[in-house]
């Protein structure tokens, strides 16, 4: 009984290496996509000539407590270099080349990029940087990676189930996101009136047409509000329930993905739903991935074969390692023949060499079976013939490539990784507890450590209740020639008229977050830099220069029975520094 409980507890804090490999690839792709979106606003958000010059960044934020390589130079060329460097690290992560190092470098660059302009950040960005941080201590490159392909046999993890304090830390971080989000939702709109989802979907700056459909069914809105709060509260228990954890965690992971899929279709919340769904994939237990492999195998009939290679021949060994690492060859036997001059495949007692052997292996690969007909392609044939001709140059003896079925991990590395993850997890938990109790539980220097590493987080999405102020922006420029020009959104006959689609007025989620922040009084000191940017941006490309810029917000207060009539609220007026023709 004790052994059973211990094994169940161990499973409850374990992660599957196939799941970690999958999210490694997805995290790299996500980072590349995020960079692609951000680079369209490189000048506006990251250069000295943008909405937040570097000197003002230090004056208005607490950047002195942390770091940013992006602030070393305010030119667009330096920022482009930083983005390209981050993209290179992301590609390295995708292919699994020196995975731990690439994960660390990606995390460093993400923190640096986020620190350059904190005004455009939202909850999804916190999930991104924390996910990359925890993944530094996990073997993301143990499957389907260049690291696995190049690894010595005694450095390979042969079990798919992996357990460490770092796996517990990642699971706990995911649980804290939803648990503390539920605790911070203290408003009656969540706890008794069940109207929170109504208020959230009534914000046309964020809502989609699907969200508008939900508003037409009030009974569904109340049920959704009740379900959202209880789901967030129960995620931690589903992920950490010690008994039958493979079932509860699968339910939790599927619930998180379904939850964010629903939110993502009803509201425009930037990267938050997507990155949260990606991270949830790591939660699926080993039994889930075993089931997926078996199901895929049923759709792909494979032959019973055996791959024979000479482990003293590096060329043959690399071919064997390539197919075993990337081919996803299931239930195939491997045999060492130290006298073999070429690797070969045994099928129904017949031996197949060269291209025929490669074709059989491809046919039995879950990943590459569609490529089997390319083996006889002329170009592929030339490459293969060249490699065969040069294989003597690869010949060498590798006694460490013999295949022991044990994994010997560096004791020092394992200790350092788990110790760091444990300490960080303790700080993160206390920080979240501080948000809940509204008390400072971490004093200097511990608070400074959290801020420097950017472990700080607050999961106050729509808490304690959703915003009840909606509206749209009107930004008008006045030229020296007496003309009024529209500097935001589509042109309208009457600039105060409501746009047909309020949410589409924003170029992207970064601009949405930035402008909605400027509407808040706490960001009043940032407004002059935005209006100055508008002046400079216009004056650099027009002969009729702007003399001033006015920024207004058409405020509509949301009530349980509808919205008030919009009223124009002046946010700021800015006189352009250069107003001459």
Query: Taking a C-beta distance cutoff of 8 angstroms, is the pair 510, 457 a contact?
Result: no
For position 419, what pLDDT does the model report? Answer: 93
Task: Tell me the mean pLDDT in the region 526-543.
Answer: 95
Neighbouring C-beta atoms of residue 502, cutoff 10 Å: 20
Range of weakest confidence among 189-203, 204-218, 233-247, 363-377: 363-377
Rounded Cα gap, residues 534 and 83, in angstroms: 24
Task: Tell me the mean pLDDT in the region 377-399.
Answer: 54
Rounded Cα gap, residues 233 and 365, in angstroms: 42
For position 466, what pLDDT does the model report? Answer: 94
Say whether pLDDT at 408 is over 60: no
Task: Tell me the mean pLDDT in the region 471-490.
Answer: 94
Structure tokens at 306: 């055996």
For position 479, what pLDDT does the model report? Answer: 95
Say whether pLDDT at 172 is over 70: yes
Range of weakest confidence among 82-86, 395-399, 416-420, 549-553: 395-399
- The percent of residues above 90 in pLDDT, for the chain, comes to 65
Rounded Cα gap, residues 497 and 457, in angstroms: 38
Q: Which helix (H) or strand (E) holds 195?
A: none
Range of weakest confidence among 97-101, 140-144, 371-375: 371-375
Structure tokens at 572: 């700021």
The 10 Å CB-count burial string (b at 16+, else e) for 319-347 is bbbebbbbbbbeebeeebeeebebbbbbb
For position 402, what pLDDT does the model report? Answer: 37
Q: Which residue ranges form the domains of the chain, and what is each CATH number?
A: 17-151 (no CATH), 167-284+409-462 (no CATH), 301-401 (3.40.30), 469-575 (no CATH)
Neighbouring C-beta atoms of residue 215, cutoff 10 Å: 15
Task: Tell me the mean pLDDT in the region 40-63.
Answer: 92
**pLDDT tens for residues 259-274?**
999 999 999 999 999 9
pLDDT classification of 307: cutoffs 50, 70, 90? confident
Say whether pLDDT at 400 is over 50: no
Nearest in space to 287 (alpha carbons), one of 245, 257, 258, 327: 245
Nearest in space to 212 (alpha carbons), one of 204, 220, 262: 204
Please state whether the peptide bond connecting residue 445 to the residue before it is cis, i.e. omega within 30 degrees of 0. Answer: yes
Rounded Cα gap, residues 49 and 537, in angstroms: 9
Task: Tell me the mean pLDDT in the region 58-75.
Answer: 88
Q: Is 145 helix (H, G, I), strand (E, B) or coil?
A: coil
- Does 89 or 393 have the greater pLDDT score? 89
Cα separations in angstroms, 396 against 8, 146, 149, 334, 392: 45, 20, 17, 20, 9
- Does 53 or 438 have the greater pLDDT score? 53
Task: Tell me the mean pLDDT in the region 294-300.
Answer: 68
Query: Taking a C-beta distance cutoff of 8 angstroms, is the pair 222, 194 a contact?
Result: yes
Rounded Cα gap, residues 60 and 37, in angstroms: 25
- Does 290 or 51 have the greater pLDDT score? 51
pLDDT classification of 68: cutoffs 50, 70, 90? very high
- The percent of residues above 70 in pLDDT, for the chain, comes to 87
Strand-pair category, 305-309 with 333-336: parallel
Cα separations in angstroms, 45 against 34, 75, 315, 345: 14, 12, 50, 57
Average pLDDT over the chain reads: 87
Cα separations in angstroms, 392 against 336, 347, 398: 19, 27, 15
Ranked by mean pLDDT, which of 10-14, 152-156, 270-274 comes out on top? 270-274
Say whether pLDDT at 405 is over 50: no
Based on the number of CB atoms within 10 Å of its own CB, is 250 exposed (0-12), middle (13-18) or buried (19 or more)? Answer: middle
Rounded Cα gap, residues 505 and 499, in angstroms: 8
For position 284, what pLDDT does the model report? Answer: 97
Task: Tell me the mean pLDDT in the region 308-320.
Answer: 73
Say whether pLDDT at 570 is over 90: yes
**pLDDT tens for residues 204-261?**
999 999 999 999 998 899 999 999 999 999 999 999 988 888 999 999 999 999 999 9
User: How far does CA 65 lie from the centroid of its chain?
Assistant: 25
For position 368, what pLDDT does the model report? Answer: 63
pLDDT classification of 493: cutoffs 50, 70, 90? confident
**pLDDT tens for residues 75-128?**
999 999 999 999 999 999 999 999 999 999 999 999 999 999 999 999 999 999
For position 349, what pLDDT does the model report? Answer: 77
Nearest in space to 285 (alpha carbons), one of 325, 244, 235: 244
For position 376, what pLDDT does the model report? Answer: 55
**HSE-up of 280 (CA within 13 Å, CB side)?**
25
Based on the number of CB atoms within 10 Å of its own CB, is 544 exposed (0-12), middle (13-18) or buried (19 or more)? Answer: middle
pTM for this structure?
0.89
User: How far does CA 200 lie from the centroid of its chain?
Assistant: 24
pLDDT classification of 47: cutoffs 50, 70, 90? very high
Q: Please compute Rg for the chain using Cα positions.
A: 28
CA angle 405, 409, 413 (to 5 degrees): 170
Rounded Cα gap, residues 84 and 91, in angstroms: 11
């Amino acid at each position: 009984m004790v052994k059973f409980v211990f094994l169940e507890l161990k499973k409850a804090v374990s992660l599957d290496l196939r799941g970690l490999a999958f999210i490694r690839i997805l995290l790299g792709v996500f980072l590349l996509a995020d960079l692609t979106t951000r680079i369209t606003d490189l000048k506006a958000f990251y250069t000295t000539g943008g909405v937040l010059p570097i000197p003002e960044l230090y004056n208005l934020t607490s950047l002195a407590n942390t770091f940013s390589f992006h602030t070393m130079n305010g030119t667009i060329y330096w920022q482009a270099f930083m983005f390209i460097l981050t993209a290179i690290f992301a590609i390295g992560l995708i292919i699994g080349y020196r995975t731990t190092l690439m994960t660390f470098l990606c995390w460093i660059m993400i923190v640096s990029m986020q620190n350059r302009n904190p005004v455009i950040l939202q909850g999804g960005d916190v999930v991104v940087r924390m996910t990359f941080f925890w993944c530094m201590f996990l073997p993301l490159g143990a499957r389907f990676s260049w690291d696995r392909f190049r690894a010595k046999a005694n450095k390979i993890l042969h079990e798919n189930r992996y357990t460490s304090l770092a796996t517990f830390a990642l699971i706990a971080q995911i649980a804290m996101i939803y648990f503390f989000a539920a605790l911070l939702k203290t408003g009656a709109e969540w706890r008794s009136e069940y109207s929170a989802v109504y208020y959230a979907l009534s914000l046309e700056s964020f809502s989609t047409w699907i969200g508008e459909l939900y508003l037409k069914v009030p009974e569904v809105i109340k049920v959704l509000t009740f379900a959202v709060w209880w789901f967030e509260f129960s995620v931690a228990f589903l992920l950490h329930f010690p008994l039958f954890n493979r079932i509860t965690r699968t339910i939790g992971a599927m619930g998180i993905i379904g939850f964010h899929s629903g939110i993502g279709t009803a509201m425009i919340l930037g990267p938050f739903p997507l990155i949260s769904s990606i991270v949830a994939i790591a939660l699926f237990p080993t039994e889930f991935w075993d089931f997926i492999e078996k199901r895929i195998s049923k759709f792909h009939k494979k032959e019973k074969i055996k791959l024979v290679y000479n482990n003293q021949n590096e060329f043959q060994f690399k071919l064997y390692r390539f197919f075993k690492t990337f081919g996803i060859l299931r239930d195939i036997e491997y045999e060492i023949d130290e006298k073999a001059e070429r690797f070969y495949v045994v099928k129904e007692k017949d031996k197949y060499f060269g291209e025929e052997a490669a074709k059989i292996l491809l046919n039995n690969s879950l990943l590459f079976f569609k490529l089997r007909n390319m083996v006889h392609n002329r170009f592929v044939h030339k490459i293969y013939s060249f490699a065969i001709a040069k294989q003597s140059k690869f010949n060498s003896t590798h006694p460490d490539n013999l295949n022991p079925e044990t994994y010997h991990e560096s004791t020092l590395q394992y200790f350092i990784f788990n110790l760091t993850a444990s300490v960080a997890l303790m700080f993160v938990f206390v920080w979240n507890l501080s948000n809940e109790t509204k008390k400072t539980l971490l004093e200097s220097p511990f608070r400074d450590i959290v801020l420097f590493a950017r472990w700080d987080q607050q999961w106050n999405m729509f808490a304690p209740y959703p915003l009840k102020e909606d509206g749209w922006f009107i930004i008008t420029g006045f030229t020296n020639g007496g003309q009024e020009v529209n500097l935001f959104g589509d042109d309208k006959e009457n600039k105060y008229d409501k746009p047909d689609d309020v949410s589409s007025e924003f170029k992207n989620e970064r601009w949405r977050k930035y402008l909605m922040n400027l509407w808040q009084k706490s960001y009043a000191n940032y407004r002059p830099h935005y209006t100055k940017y508008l002046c400079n941006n216009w004056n650099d490309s027009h002969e009729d220069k702007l003399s001033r810029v006015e920024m207004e917000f058409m405020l509509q207060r949301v009530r349980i029975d509808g919205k008030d009539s919009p009223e124009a609220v002046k946010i700021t007026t800015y006189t352009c520094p250069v107003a001459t023709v």
